[in-house]
Amino acid sequence: MDDPDWSDIQASQAGDRDAFTRVIVRHREAIVRQMRRFTADAGTREELAQDVFVEAWLSVGRYLPRAPFLHWLQTLATRVGYRHWKELQRRGRLVPLREDDRVGYGLPDGDPEALEPREASARLRGLLDRLSPEDRMVLALHYFDGLSAGQIAERMGWSPALVRMRAFRARRKLKKWLTAKE
């Protein structure tokens, strides 16, 4: 195993908290950056990253060195973020997009260049917030993280066919709302 974390991981698996702290220090920034996919709030990002490392500590004994440790952490981070979106939806903070909604996210004159970057970002976030957590997760992992359907399926524990179907439906919803007349 060429993973630079391997000696610290082995020590962590034996219960060495200092070794796990070194792993956290090496990967904290990458995990906090990944949590931007799930929230714009810096405090919530920090909490989610902390949840990832707590979950990693509790399950480090099950880590098998088939891939770099960071990949394993990123999978945990994806699942922590997904649970965060599910909790927001459960509490009514994410409002699912319905087929008959007119949410006003269309493009001015049908031209995406007519939007300022901040406005485009706000509209995109508004649309993504209205998708189901499952649909949003598939699009975020594909477009923001550059993962294939097979990689998304592995990370989420879903089948590749389910990932492709969710991506197709989510893109169709977004296209409908972007082209809708206000």
Q: For each successive 10 residues of the chain (182 residues), what is the average pLDDT?
A: 77 91 94 91 94 94 86 93 91 58 50 70 78 90 90 92 94 81 53
- Whole-number Cα distances in Å, 99 to 13, 22, 107, 161, 164: 49, 48, 18, 23, 20
* Cα(32)–Cα(13) distance, integer angstroms: 23
The confidence score (pLDDT) of residue 68 equals 85
Provide the domain count of the chain. Answer: 2
Q: Are residues 87 and 3 in the same domain?
A: yes
Q: Are residues 89 and 101 in the same domain?
A: no
Query: Can you say how many angstroms the Cα of residue 33 is from the centroid of all Cα atoms in its chain?
Result: 10
Q: Are residues 90 and 107 in the same domain?
A: no
Longest dimension (CA), the chain: 61
Domain boundary among 94, 129, 160: 94
Domain boundary among 46, 61, 94: 94
The confidence score (pLDDT) of residue 95 equals 52
Residue 156's Cβ-count burial label (10 Å; 0-12, 13-18, 19+) is: buried
The confidence score (pLDDT) of residue 114 equals 67
Summarize pLDDT for 71-109 with one digit per residue, the tens.
999 999 999 999 999 998 888 765 554 544 444 555 555
The structure's pTM equals 0.71
Which residues are within 8 A (CB) of 77 and not within 5 positions of it... i.e. 6 or more apart? 31, 34, 35, 48, 49, 52
The confidence score (pLDDT) of residue 107 equals 52
Q: Are residues 57 and 141 in the same domain?
A: no
Domain boundary among 94, 125, 143: 94
Q: Are 51 and 4 in contact (CB under 8 A)?
A: no
Q: Are residues 112 and 87 in the same domain?
A: no
- Please tell me the total number of residues recorded for the chain in this structure: 182
Look up the domain containing 168 and give its range.
97-182
Q: How far apart are the first and last CA of the chain?
A: 56
Q: Are residues 20 and 71 in the same domain?
A: yes
